[in-house]
Amino acid sequence: MSEKPRVSTLARRIHGWSWQAFPIGMGTGAVYVTLSGLKQHSSTLTTVETIFYFLNISLFILNTTSLMTQAILFPRQAWRLINDPVKGIFVPLVVLSFATIIIGTINYAVPPGHVSPGFIYVLFWIYVAFACFTCLPMLMIWFNQPHDLATFTPAYAFLIFPMMLVGVVAFNVLRTMDPADTRAVGVLVLGYFFQGIGFFMTFFYLCIYVIRIMSTGFLDGHQANGAFVACGPPGFTALALLNLGDHARKILAAHNLVTPAAGDIWYASSVLSALMLYGLAVFLFVFGVLPYWFKVHKHLKEILGCWALTFPNVGWISSTRVLGDVLHIPGLYDVHLVMTILMCLTWAVLFVLTVAAFWKGLIFYSQDEDVLKDIGQDDDDKFSCSTTSTAV
């Protein structure tokens, strides 16, 4: 009786890759975004940020290449991941990863002159299109089937996050543009427009989240990580409003739009709204931290979900620094510094544990039978070892 064919390690890795890999890159991007906002900023710190920026790009290329290869070699598995009611919500994270790269490019490639502001403007429109063409189809897939309230998690809001982040990308792009440039008006308006769509849609998700924990108690197991995703919408919206409002003062005045005082009015209203949203984000963070250690599963195979401890918190942490500037509260700089240090430490711990889980085959690694199920016997020779050999 012949032995069952064995599948190579490479095939099992490619087959087992998933969209949950992108939070690793986003967590890496979270490090240099928070570091870039520190009040005391040295050239050495900029070098460290640049290293994380290139690491983020490398992870993005690795993830996209792996998933593209999976789509070519194992189309059924690729389609299965997209349609999965849980794993499918991570698909839009490819867009968020792209957003962190754009922000890094603005921070580290534009000032030295390696990238022109005109190219950044093009990247902005590419991001907007990328966000729309990714989110809308995934929303159609997700809403085309019922979902149980008892298993609801804030991570479902990932389906909206790329559109919500348009506002954050917009104010970063505006940093490279002349306020008198007519294109700046379009970027400003579009930033507010999509920030409104993203925040209010994700706010509905937050309402459902509160109803869920009222019914079942705090999230437990791997879902406990999702509690930190709830900090994202109010935190990033606060950050976007603070910065878009600041740019509105210059842009609206430069183009004589609405009224002569419109820029200051937009800015003042943005600061007020941002302050309230900042409070909500901090509350949701504390609300997620307090029960976290007692609810989360300490299993290495679930380490990917723990990356939610990083990137969703970038919004309110960065807003802390901006509010310190706006309201002249030096203590907020200290809070920002402490949270940035904690962000770096969290990244270091998660990165080591993720590498360990990868090395042990606990993540991004399919079983032989799952791979063989998705390829025909005629194609087995592409990745199969001999029937008598063992997997590498």
What is the crossing angle of helices 93-108 and 166-174, to 10°?
A: 10
In this structure, the number of other CB atoms found within 10 A of the CB of residue 358 comes to 17
Please provide the distance, in angstroms rounded to a whole number, between the alpha carbons at the two ends of the chain: 23
**How many other CB atoms are there within 10 angstroms of residue 5's CB atom?**
16
- The pLDDT-based confidence of 351 (bands split at 50, 70, 90) is very high
* Phi, psi values for residue 178, rounded to 5°: -80, 130
Q: How far apart are CA 39 and CA 19, in angstroms?
A: 35
Quick check: 377 pLDDT over 70? no
140, 82 Cβ separation under 8 angstroms = no
- Confidence band, pLDDT 50/70/90 cuts, at residue 300: confident
pLDDT on residue 177: 93
Tell me the mean pLDDT in the region 45-73. 95
C-alpha 187/C-alpha 173 separation (Å) is 8
In which band, very low, low, confident or very high, does the pLDDT at 1 lie, cut at 50, 70 and 90? very low
Burial-class residue 14 by CB neighbours within 10 Å (0-12, 13-18, 19+): buried
| Section 250-263 average pLDDT | 89
What are the tokens at 379?
């194609």
Q: Does the pLDDT value for residue 387 go beyond 70?
A: no
What is the average per-residue pLDDT within 292-320? 91
Taking each helix axis from N to C end, the angle separating 22-36 and 314-327, rounded to the nearest 10 degrees, works out to 10
Q: How far apart are CA 210 and CA 208, in angstroms?
A: 5
Q: Looking at this protein, which amino acid is placed at residue 325?
A: D
Using the predicted structure, report yes or no on whether residue 385 has a pLDDT greater than 60.
no
Above 50 in pLDDT, residue 378? no
Q: What's the confidence (pLDDT) of residue 3?
A: 60
Q: What is the pLDDT of residues 78-130, one digit of tens each?
A: 999 998 888 889 999 999 999 999 999 999 999 999 999 999 999 999 999 99
Q: Calculate mean pLDDT across residues 376-382.
A: 46
Instruction: Report d(CA 255, CA 362) in Å as an integer.
Output: 56
Which has the minimum average pLDDT: 218-232, 235-249, 338-352? Answer: 218-232
0.85 surpassed by pTM: yes
Amino acid 376: pLDDT: 61
Q: Does residue 388 surpass a pLDDT of 80?
A: no
User: Token pair of 29, please?
Assistant: 């991007």
Rounded to whole angstroms, how far apart are CA atoms 365 and 370?
A: 10
- Distance (Å, whole) CA 174 – CA 135: 24
* Axis-axis angle for helices 232-254, 182-216 (nearest 10): 160
6 contact partners, CB below 8 Å, separation of at least 6: 368, 384, 385, 386, 387, 389, 390, 391
Cβ pair 222, 296 in contact under 8 A: yes
- Side chain identity, residue 136: L
Instruction: Say how many CA atoms lie within 13 Å of 181 toward its Cβ.
Output: 16
Q: Which two tokens stand for residue 354?
A: 């993720």
Confidence of residue 367 (pLDDT cuts 50, 70, 90): confident
- Give 292-315 as a 3 state SS string: HHHHCCCCHHHHHHHHHHCHHHHH
- Split at pLDDT 50, 70, 90, the class of 392 is very low
Residue 120: closest CA among 203, 71, 181? 181
- On the question of pLDDT at 383 being above 80, the answer is no
Of 390 and 276, the one with more pLDDT: 276
Average pLDDT, the chain: 90
